[in-house]
Structure 1
């Protein structure tokens, strides 16, 4: 009996030792020196790597960077978000009029007028008006002609009306063709005029502006009769000579 009791005491003692060892291991696992299991972790070689841990190894995600082109205010960059310089709103061209200059009406003070008799067509004269000013000027309607001894301004050829107002930049010229007399001699009240005054109309085409221009005529004068008439101002010499 004593032997059985002694063996039972040993077994109990051994069981207690095993239980204490198990408790000791559990305590070590919770003390931070081991690796504690986390829900959702992945086990590698008996350990668990937490997911979503801020201290997990590996590169961190790149921060979101806005597109520089899309972040610019509208109208402050070059074409189609190129990020280039702002487009200019004014382009200069050497020899061209200043875009900031307000156009004016062509008149004797800002132009030079030349009267040149033509061999072809016969009995015709070409008027050339050149802009000598610093601003663009408009040649409205047609030249109001006053020859020596004339009682009225000669009529205009209606069909010669241009599609747009003749515009002269500084240095440019406009033209008008003057029919002096009938080529077949059918005109009446003919005489030789020695002087000519050319008046310019305003935008309305009814009022003269400025003083008259006085282009020189040939020393022998020009023969005119009652068929005297003129074209509207034309932008080119070819347009004028078509009449």
Structure 2
């Protein structure tokens, strides 16, 4: 009886195993290990590649695109150039010249018959460089305490520039022809001062041209012209 039961149990167990084998063969999957864990995902080449380079379809790395060239900041405008002291103020823009004065010129003062009661100042450049005759001469007879004024109508359009050896001129009205001037006197000494690049500025050493032995007579009508390039303009 025990042998029969054992034989029957083996038969049932074998049938169950056969059924499982047939089922696995029919669905084509075979047996599976339910306890095995899924393998970890392997990073792809694109995920591990540096961000600066991309791979081409052939597998070779392509160079990263160049960054656009930056435009440099604009430079500030250079300030405009200025003239050095002694330049021709109010004249057309030209090369800066040395101011004419008593150190680089020879000055003469000579009374003239026409116009009446006039004297001519002549300035000759004795230096090696051109010089500018600025504005008008500042005259002082003896120890006079006032400065003769310049006639506005004699102002030139451009400052006279004297090349070495060239001369410039100024006319001096000594006294009124009709005797209307005041405080007439005879002067024995004359000082001619020169102006710099701005009106009434110091242009350098003055000159003391000799006067005639008899001196020159002047009164309150004393006026001068601006420096001119020709004798005719100075006495006209």
Q: TM-score, normalized by length of structure 1? A: 0.57
The correspondence of residues 78-97 of structure 1 with structure 2, limited to 5 A, is: none
The match for 1:194 among 188, 193, 212 is: 188
Alignment CA distance shift 1:203-1:177 (3 Å): same
Asked if 1:136 corresponds to 2:130, the answer is yes
Match of 1:156 in 2: 150
Per-residue deviation at 1:102?
6.1
Asked if 1:214 corresponds to 2:208, the answer is yes
Q: Residues of 1 paired with 2:147 and 2:125: CA distance?
A: 24
The match for 2:161 among 164, 167, 189 is: 167
Q: Residues of 2 paired with 1:126 and 1:167: CA distance?
A: 18
Alignment CA distance shift 1:156-1:102 (3 Å): closer
Match of 1:127 in 2: 121
The correspondence of residues 99-114 of structure 1 with structure 2, limited to 5 A, is: 103-114=97-108
Q: Which has the higher strand share?
A: 1
Q: Residues of 1 paired with 2:116 and 2:164: CA distance?
A: 31
Q: Residues of 2 paired with 1:241 and 1:190: CA distance?
A: 22
Asked if 1:236 corresponds to 2:230, the answer is yes
Q: TM-score, normalized by length of structure 2? A: 0.59
Asked if 1:184 corresponds to 2:178, the answer is yes
Q: Residues of 2 paired with 1:193 and 1:240: CA distance?
A: 22
**2:195–2:204 Cα contact (<8 Å) kept:** no
Moved over 6 A (4+): none
**1:149–1:193 Cα contact (<8 Å) kept:** no
Match of 1:118 in 2: 112
- Tell me: higher relative CO, structure 1 or 2? Use CA pairs within 8 A at least 6 residues apart: 2
Where in structure 1 are there 5+ consecutive unaligned residues? 1-100
Aligned positions, number: 142
* Deviations, residues 72-124 of structure 1 (Å, cap 9, x unaligned): xxxxxxxxxxxxxxxxxxxxxxxxxxxxx962000100000000101111110
Where in structure 2 are there 5+ consecutive unaligned residues? 1-94
**1:123–1:183 Cα contact (<8 Å) kept:** yes
Q: Residues of 2 paired with 1:134 and 1:179: CA distance?
A: 32
* Deviations, residues 107-165 of structure 1 (Å, cap 9, x unaligned): 10000000010111111000000000000000000000011131111000011000000
